[in-house]
Amino acid sequence: MIDTPIITTRRSSGTDKNSDKFLQLNVGPSHPATHGTLRILVKLEGEMIRDMKLEIGYLHRCFEKMAETHSWNQVIPFTDRLNYVSAMMNNVGYVMAVEKLLGIQVTKRCQRIRVIVAELSRIIDHLVCIGANAVDLGALTCFWYFFRERENIYDLFEAACGARLTTSYTRVGGLLADLPEGWTSWCRKVIDNLPRTLDDVEGLLTGNRIWIDRTRGIGVISQERAIDYGFTGPCLRATGNAYDVRKAHPYYDYDQFDFKVITENAGDTYARYLVRMAEMRESIKIIRQALDNLPEGDVNVNDWAITLPPKEQVYNSIEGLMAHFKLIMHGIRPPKGEVYSYSEAANGELGFFVCSDEQGRPYRVRVRPPCFAIYQAFPEMCIGQTVSDAVATLGSLNIVAGELDR
Amino acid sequence: MTQDKNPPHASLINPEDADIRNVAFTTRLEDFVNWSRKNSLWPLPFGTACCAIEYMSVVSSHYDVSRFGAEVVRFSPRQSDCILVLGTVVEKMGPVLREIYDQMLEPKWVIAVGVCASSGGFYRAYHVMQGIDEVVPVDVYVPGCPPTPEGIIYGMMKLQEKITKGGIVRARDRHKLTGK
Amino acid sequence: MLEIDTNLLESKLPGFSNRFGKDVLTVSDHRGDLTIEIQPSVLRDALMFLKATLRFEILMDVFAMDYSKFDPPTRERFAVIYNLYSVSQQRRVRLKVFLNEDKPEIESVHDVYASANWFEREAWDLFGIVFKGHPHLVRILCHHDFEGHPLRKDYPSDGYQRLKSASPAAGI
């Protein structure tokens, strides 16, 4: 194995006449404040960051290559592991792309269930983001409060699909299964408890002198620069731009739900915290409305070339058996073509570009990860501030390595 | 055993009055050291991917790994004796893992949490290491993608079992003592 | 030869066909995704025009494609695709350029859109597309000893490559 040190702390050397002035510090790729496998090199003058370089790819798991060697439905488990904090939204984003390529509409009930689980996982994502950000700044209590709620939502997911984290709940043209009995009333109970926890944490943080001092005016980015860097999601909305895919290009009847797009103008860490906090309340509103208007009916489209036939048909009719066999052995074959589909994930616009050559496997799946664009701007947001401010900023950007490196 | 009328703490105060069996017990040194080692594991979470998110649940309120004496999470390899590799380790990350492992002091143990760390999982891909045992020795493998928090706790209990049965002499010194 | 639907182009992007008409190769509207295929030589100008005049402010994504196993065969082996989004008008357009297999080169647009920087590095890393004028065109996802470009169709998916040396002392 390689034994040359990777982690170095050294005075910069060389021809620079100020060489004694600067200290070069390596943070990561395994560091408590990097939230995963990020590596940051900073050039310090005292405690001030004068320059910064980022190194990524420490979790490059070859998602796009793996997708090309699996059938369309087999890609879904890989999408779980992109943004593993909110796997449901990746599932939904991916199948939306394949359904767009197929040119089909899923049933109303399926759409509503997808909205519910996606909004639940948005809440989880924001809980983890704010909780971890607060831990980095020394506020451990919020983390415990949030994780209690998060466990409740994971229990819901486990009841619906059997897994807590890596859900794989959606299928092209439908879902793995309908919601189990009693799930909706259980879900109502869980989201009814949420606002109390949010109030508790808001009471602890929003007016907290330490929290404000550590976050306000830290990691500022202007709206113009944010747009230039391709920011989307809460990080863009914290700069004052109200772009939200759910409002701008409503999918799954998001235009019929009553919710607000939260914006803040400061573009700093505090603004991003406020946006995330308020978005969770909006998500709760959406889930309530979706639960109230959850129609009865099938969750899968009635096309046996796309979804599996019901079990009675498989066991009792030759057509059902054949359809089942063909779908398992050959998979779905979307028509030739390329589409780009996008949805609002917790970090911003999650895009999937899919290309089919009718061979039963994706010819190409390209994921547009929101983190990738956001993380590029990180040096610009940190230069001129202290190292501890960089930690606060990084936490508020919610960089998930699985999505960043894929 | 004869029952002393004095309570134990009284015997401690007056050792000459006490029956030795009331104030002390005998055991093997190995058992005693291993007992204390296994109940005070200080884990270093080497979190790379999804399993690290599950590990957050293991240490937080609901699952509470402190019941097993392993809640003192340390991010410095010099202060910890059990490294949990949580998630996929890719080729680029391999040397980093090795370096962190080398920085840990003896005795040290490795738990490979999840199939990615154990065998590469379903990532049979051009950039993913097919199991961390290519770079560090592993004591316990925990299956699952990701394992449930119960699974991770079970893995830690398995490690405790292993520590109970193990020797207290460092592996690399054993041959000096035994001549083998 | 494909007929270019100038009406479609003009209705969606007024002024574009006037300016780049002779360099537009195909226009399609498959499933509502407006896709324009243009000559690589005008790509930079086209992006600048779309950003400045038609206000496509966000470059959402830049990525490459390898069409070598695609049926029917395409114009060239490689393609680079630019996904643009206009926040002010809430609409999208996709630009596509085909690049020659022997010399997959195109001009970098990192100074037009800041987001292009890493996306171009990624396309170089995974496909070997050279972006001329890019300030720092090195591998971004794969390790530094990696040889070849893994997302090309002729690269095996399990073509695992070991790291041979320690990572170079990364300085600033």
Q: Which chains touch A (3 or more CB pairs under 8 A)?
A: B, C
Q: Name residue C91's amino acid.
A: R
For residue B115, give the nearest of B101, B128, B100 by alpha carbon.
B128
A288 CB-near residues (< 8 Å, 6+ apart): A188, A191
**Is residue C123 a part of any domain in this protein?**
yes
Specify the higher pLDDT residue, C58 or B21: C58
Taking residue B5's Cβ as centre, other Cβ atoms within 10 Å add up to 5
Q: Which chain A residues are Cβ-neighbours of C59 within 8 angstroms?
A: 230
Chain C contact for B92 (CB, 8 A cutoff) = yes
Contact: A56, C81; criterion CB under 8 Å = no
This model of the complex carries an ipTM of: 0.90
A317 CB-near residues (< 8 Å, 6+ apart): none
Q: Over the stretch C97-130, which tens digit does the pLDDT of each residue have?
A: 999 888 889 999 988 998 899 999 999 999 999 9
**Is residue C141 a part of any domain in this protein?**
no
Angle A99-A339-A177 from CA coordinates, rounded to 5°: 20
Q: Which of A6, A57, A366 sits opposite C63 (nearest CB)?
A: A366
Q: Which chain C residues are Cβ-neighbours of A101 within 8 angstroms?
A: 31
**Is residue C142 a part of any domain in this protein?**
no
**Is residue B89 a part of any domain in this protein?**
yes
Provide the pLDDT for residue B58.
Answer: 87
Using pLDDT thresholds of 50, 70 and 90, give the confidence band for residue B17.
low
**Is residue C32 a part of any domain in this protein?**
yes
Provide the pLDDT for residue A11.
Answer: 46
DSSP structure class, residue C146: -
Residue B171 has pLDDT above 60, yes or no: no
CATH number at residue B80: 3.40.50.12280
Is C72 strand, coil or helix?
A: coil
Residue B180 has pLDDT above 70, yes or no: no
For residue A297, give the nearest of A188, A187, A183, A178 by alpha carbon.
A178
Residue B30 has pLDDT above 80, yes or no: yes
Residue A148 to chain B, least CA–CA distance (Å): 7
**Is residue C151 a part of any domain in this protein?**
no
**CA atoms A45, A47, A49, A55: torsion sign:** positive
Q: Which chain B residues are Cβ-neighbours of C141 within 8 angstroms?
A: 127
Full set of structural domains in chain A with CATH: 72-405 (1.10.645.10)
Question: Which tokens in the block code for residue A338?
Answer: 């390329």
**Is residue C21 a part of any domain in this protein?**
yes
**Is residue C121 a part of any domain in this protein?**
yes
Is C115 strand, coil or helix?
A: coil
Q: Which residues pair with C64 in a beta bridge?
A: C80
Q: Which chain A residues are Cβ-neighbours of B127 within 8 angstroms?
A: 60-62
Q: Which chain A residues are Cβ-neighbours of C35 within 8 angstroms?
A: 338
Taking residue A192's Cβ as centre, other Cβ atoms within 10 Å add up to 11
Give CA–CA dist B52/B54, Å, rounded. 5
Using pLDDT thresholds of 50, 70 and 90, give the confidence band for residue C17.
confident
**Is residue B23 a part of any domain in this protein?**
no
Q: Which chain A residues are Cβ-neighbours of B133 within 8 angstroms?
A: none
Q: In what order do the strands lie in the sheet with A337-345?
A: A337-345, A348-356, A362-368
Residue B141 has pLDDT above 80, yes or no: yes
Residue C46 has pLDDT above 80, yes or no: yes
Q: Which of A6, A128, A402 sits opposite B96 (nearest CB)?
A: A6
| Number of domains observed in the structure of chain B | 1
Provide the pLDDT for residue A283.
Answer: 93
Contact: C142, B125; criterion CB under 8 Å = no
Give CA–CA dist B131/A404, Å, rounded. 22
Is C98 strand, coil or helix?
A: strand
CATH number at residue C29: 3.30.460.80
Using pLDDT thresholds of 50, 70 and 90, give the confidence band for residue B96.
confident
In A, residues 51-70, which contact C (CB 8 Å cutoff)? Answer: 51-53, 55-57, 60, 62, 64-66, 68-69
Q: Which chains touch C (3 or more CB pairs under 8 A)?
A: A, B
**Is residue C156 a part of any domain in this protein?**
no
> B146 lies in which domain range?
41-165
**Is residue B133 a part of any domain in this protein?**
yes
Chain C contact for A310 (CB, 8 A cutoff) = no
Give CA–CA dist A164/B149, Å, rounded. 10
Provide the pLDDT for residue B15.
Answer: 58
Residue B48 has pLDDT above 90, yes or no: no
| Number of domains observed in the structure of chain C | 1
Q: Which of C35, C141, C170 sits opposite A57 (nearest CB)?
A: C141
For chain A, give the secondary structure using H, E and C. CCCCCCCCEEECCCCCCCCCCCEEEEECCCCHHHCCCCEEEEEEECCEEEEEEEECCCCCCCHHHHHHCCCCHHHHHHHHCCCHHHHHHHHHHHHHHHHHHHCCCCCHHHHHHHHHHHHHHHHHHHHHHHHHHHHHCCCHHHHHHHHHHHHHHHHHHHHHHCCCCCCCCEECCEECCCCCCCHHHHHHHHHHHHHHHHHHHHHHHCCCHHHHHHHCCCCCCCHHHHHHCCCCCHHHHCCCCCCCHHHHCCCCCHHHCCCCCCCCCCCCHHHHHHHHHHHHHHHHHHHHHHHHCCCCCCCCCCCCCCCCCCHHHHHHCHHHHHHHHHHHHHCCCCCCEEEEEEEEECCEEEEEEEEECCCCCEEEEEEECHHHHHHHCHHHHHCCCEHHHHHHHHHHHCCCHHHHHC
Give CA–CA dist C8/B33, Å, rounded. 80
Taking residue A305's Cβ as centre, other Cβ atoms within 10 Å add up to 13
Provide the pLDDT for residue A1.
Answer: 29
Provide the pLDDT for residue A298.
Answer: 87
Q: In whole angstroms, what separates CA C73 from the centre of its chain?
A: 19
Q: Which chain C residues are Cβ-neighbours of A376 within 8 angstroms?
A: 114-115, 117-118
pLDDT tens string, chain A, 406 residues long: the values are: 233 334 444 444 444 555 567 888 888 787 777 777 888 888 888 888 888 888 888 888 889 998 999 989 899 999 988 888 888 999 999 999 999 999 899 999 999 999 999 999 999 999 989 998 998 888 888 888 888 888 899 999 999 988 888 888 999 988 988 899 999 999 999 999 999 999 999 998 888 898 999 898 888 999 999 999 989 999 999 999 889 999 888 988 888 999 999 998 888 999 999 999 999 999 999 999 999 989 988 888 888 888 888 888 889 999 899 999 988 888 888 898 899 999 999 888 999 999 998 888 899 999 999 999 899 999 998 888 898 888 889 889 888 888 888 8
Burial of B41 (0-12, 13-18, 19+ CB in 10 A): buried
Residue C169 has pLDDT above 70, yes or no: no
Q: Which of A103, A353, A376 sits opposite C117 (nearest CB)?
A: A376
Contact: A144, B60; criterion CB under 8 Å = yes
Contact: C31, A103; criterion CB under 8 Å = yes
**Is residue B33 a part of any domain in this protein?**
no
> C30 lies in which domain range?
6-132
Using pLDDT thresholds of 50, 70 and 90, give the confidence band for residue B18.
low
**Is residue B4 a part of any domain in this protein?**
no
For residue A386, the number of C-alpha atoms closer than 13 Å in the C-beta half-sphere is 7
User: Taking CA atoms, what residue in B is nearest to C149?
Assistant: B126
Contact: B126, C141; criterion CB under 8 Å = no
What does the buried/exposed string (b/e) look like for A385-397 if buried means 16 or more CB atoms within 10 Å of the residue's CB?
bebebbbbbbbbb
Q: In whole angstroms, what separates CA A401 from the centre of its chain?
A: 11
Residue B10 has pLDDT above 60, yes or no: no
